[in-house]
Structure 1
């Protein structure tokens, strides 16, 4: 087989999130480029991946691992390291694994964060992690950290998704990374469809509803958001899935509704009709406020990390200082008391378009390596 001009790599395609959106943007930009990943579960990620050639590792033959990728943790390093990508350039979209694929050409890493579960296990796993998970990380952690740093050094260039990711890459790997913010892809103006699981009763409350879009993981602090709404008169719609789901549903007050696995048209329906979005997570970038901004909607978010890159306080949203129910509830009340300029919010979102992302990314790669094959580019 002839050496390919460009291949896109990603950790695993088993969920829906901002990182998977970035991979789709890359696939549109570099039309025809295949995607190399470890696991691929089409029903649990975006349907657009069905239009792209996706290559997987032998682990993908195990259905249980495709459905629960965290169970593959002891096996992923070996699976990645045994996979060689024969290409002039590999763009590795990575938060822990894809930067480890062996390549015959140049490797460019677009990094969301060094692996949280390796370098911030307490924040990532939370207090409810199982004993077996903690034991596995305690045993494998030292070896995996050595492996991870060695793979980082194999890259020709690192590009970080945000200023906080850049700082973490510097601290963990000693690598200086250029910052290129990822794009929003909400598609404001596209078709809308009301989510099937959302009843009239769920939305019937004072002041409409607010929106929380998040994977249900401990460091996302969705529990604090849910608790805050026990003291607020309006509704909260939580969109997301993850290991915290059962616990969050059990603790939620009656004015909180949970949805998951929504289509883009259903997400557009929610963005267009919510009063604001709320996020209390320790984010490396903070994509959801930008998606909401493309609809002219303000954000209420934690004053931390990526949200500092994506929210202009007082113009596109409000920041609170700690992820506690009291701080979140106070910030939500302030948000409701303010008059927001929807056009100014939309103008801010325009700076995070897919076109702007691709222009900045290709320029950063060419500055770092001069290696991006122009013939492979598609249209944004």
Structure 2
């Protein structure tokens, strides 16, 4: 099954039905944009075997048909950082099976998987990003520790050496395509990830007053939730922070120091998230992101985005029409943009979001797979 505008429908004609196919992904969390992309790819290839390094404890791996690697039987599954150096080995020893076609969904080392000789097995890789803590430590601070310099160089060399067999790459954004060219010296087509725009556009109930600002995502440093709190204070508006993560305690302390109400919604349901989008005056997104599904979900709800003028937002937000892109991380500059959201049309914002709907992804992905496997 696949998704079209928020509802599941059967694919018209399964791709590569006459060939053996494997689809692979890194670790599998219960909620995550990359996991949703992997499942959307797997839906296009319903007969494919599905491999992951491991699935988190709350993931129904059996129901999803996920086959886990031997890493799932080790303590390393509890620490991605400790497992990282072992991942290339895990991918190379994933299974004895050989397939005609392999499609990987990669944001670390899944593109290094080898499930058959390259002269027989066609390997296509959809890339969310070259591993940011390995290749882009300035973007993702998790890899910026100076003590990681030597391990990072070793992992870069392994990443390049073990991925030579990949026949074709697709990137989730122009930003990621440019990284693939810079780091791997390979070209890639751009296929934006699927977003459930139909679901987030559907009314969640009575029209809401849009009286608060909203921040959504994992509470980790590079997402800049502390800056969102400063922006809300500068704009004089309440803020709702939705998500979860290791920064919760620090963010709650920061929220207690400002003069506007800051509410925390921990792990909101999909239904509650839709309500939050539809009740927000604007989504704050002052982070450099590879693509950013959250800003598209917000726009599907007719909510403008105030974000950083960099990364994926350059592709998902039309500056001055569906939001405002700010070139600095100064709270005052973002607050000034918040004051201008009344100039924007909710109808135009929703219309723009439809260009990222799931059927667009399914059609583009199907075309790419079909072209590369002829």
Aligned equivalents of 1:324 and 1:146: distance in 2?
38
Superposition pairs of residues 1-380 of structure 1, within 5 angstroms: 5-14=20-29, 16-43=31-58, 51-62=63-74, 65-84=76-95, 86-104=98-116, 105-125=121-141, 135=147, 137-186=148-197, 187-188=199-200, 192=204, 208-252=211-255, 253=258, 255-335=261-341, 338-370=342-374
- Checking the alignment, whether the CA contact within 8 Å between 1:183 and 1:354 is kept in structure 2 is yes
Separation of aligned partners in 1, 2:203 and 2:173: 30
Q: Provide the rounded CA distance (Å) in 1 between the counterparts of 2:52 and 2:235.
A: 43
- Runs of 4+ residues over 6 Å off in structure 1: none
Change in 2 beyond 3 A, CA 1:175/1:61: same
Any unmatched runs of 5+ in structure 2? 1-17
Matching residue of 1:198: none
How far is the alpha carbon of 1:327 from its aligned partner? 2.3
| Helix, strand or coil at the partner of 2:244 | coil
d(CA) in 2 for partners of 1:50, 1:334: 49
Shift of 1:231: 2.4
| TM-score calculated relative to the size of structure 1 | 0.83
Tell me: CA distance 1:156–1:266, structure 2 relative to 1, closer, same or farther (3 Å).
same
Alpha-carbon distance in 1 for matches of 2:369, 2:269:
32
Q: Deviations over 1:212-249 (max 9, x none)?
A: 11222332222211222232322222222333333222
Paired with 2:40 and 2:202, the residues of 1 have a C-alpha distance of: 17
> C-alpha root-mean-square deviation of aligned residues, in Å?
2.7
Q: Which residue of 2 aligns with 1:374?
A: none
Does the C-alpha gap of structure 1 residues 142 and 52 become closer, same or farther in structure 2, counting only changes over 3 Å? same
Shift of 1:191: 8.6
Matched residue, 1:373: none
Deviations 1:164-194 (A, max 9, x none): 111110000110101111111252366959x
Q: Is the 8 A contact 2:70 2:94 kept in 1?
A: no
How far is 1:59 from its partner?
1.6
Q: 1:71-102 CA distances to partner (integer Å, 9 max, x unpaired)?
A: 32232222122114532222111111211111
Do the aligned partners of 1:228 and 1:325 also contact (CA within 8 Å) in 2? yes
Q: Note closer, same or farther for the CA distance 1:267–1:33 as it changes in structure 2 (3 Å cut).
A: farther
**2-structure distance, mates of 1:13, 1:290:** 22
SS at match of 2:24: strand
Contact 2:213 2:232 in 1 (8 A): no
Distance 1:322 1:53, change over 3 A: same
The number of residue pairs the alignment matches comes to 347
Paired residue secondary structure (2:319): coil
Displacement after TM superposition at 1:302 (Å): 0.8
1:157/1:369 contact within 8 Å kept: no
Tell whether the 8 Å contact from 2:180 to 2:187 is kept in structure 1 after alignment: yes
Q: Distance in 2 between matches of 1:31 and 1:369?
A: 17
CA distance in 2, matches of 1:343, 1:190: 13
Structure 1 CA distance, aligned partners of 2:159 and 2:30? Answer: 22
Aligned partners of 2:138, 2:319: CA distance in 1, in Å?
Answer: 29
Structure 2 Cα separation of the partners of residues 159 and 368 of structure 1: 11
Aligned equivalents of 1:42, 1:24: Cα separation in 2: 18
